């Protein structure tokens, strides 16, 4: 999932899309992506895409590693 950046709109109004395919340049490096939104399919340069930070809704691991050192907060 990505947000499609648009300089003319507030970030809260950017479109949400799913990356359907990656488009490589002549040099073989990925330069753009085909995106599928709710109404259309568009192509955008990677510079205009912003990934979403999604949280996992599954239960956390039941056991913690006892060998992990304690976190020490800075004053």
DSSP-assigned letters across all residues of 19-33:
EEEEEE-TTS-EEEE
Establish if 55 belongs to a structural domain: no
Q: Give the mean pLDDT of 66-70.
A: 81
Distance between CA atoms of residues 50 and 17, nearest Å: 10
CA angle, 1 then 41 then 46, to 5°: 55
Q: How many CB atoms lie within 10 A of CB 67?
A: 5
Establish if 60 belongs to a structural domain: no
* Residue-number span of the structural domain to which 33 is assigned: 2-50
Q: Give the mean pLDDT of 30-48.
A: 92
Residue pair 69/48 in contact (Cβ under 8 Å)? The answer is no
Q: Are strands 2-4 and 15-24 parallel, antiparallel or unpaired?
A: antiparallel
Q: Mean of the per-residue pLDDT values for the chain?
A: 85
- Structural domains of the chain, count: 1
- pTM higher than the cut 0.85: no
């Amino acid at each position: 999932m990505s947000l499609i950046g648009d300089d003319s709109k507030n970030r809260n109004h950017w479109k949400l899309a799913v990356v359907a395919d990656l488009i490589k340049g002549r040099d073989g490096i990925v330069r753009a992506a085909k995106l599928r939104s709710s109404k259309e399919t568009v192509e955008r340069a990677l510079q205009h895409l912003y990934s979403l930070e999604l949280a996992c809704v599954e239960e956390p691991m039941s056991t913690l590693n006892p060998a992990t050192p304690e976190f020490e907060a800075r004053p």
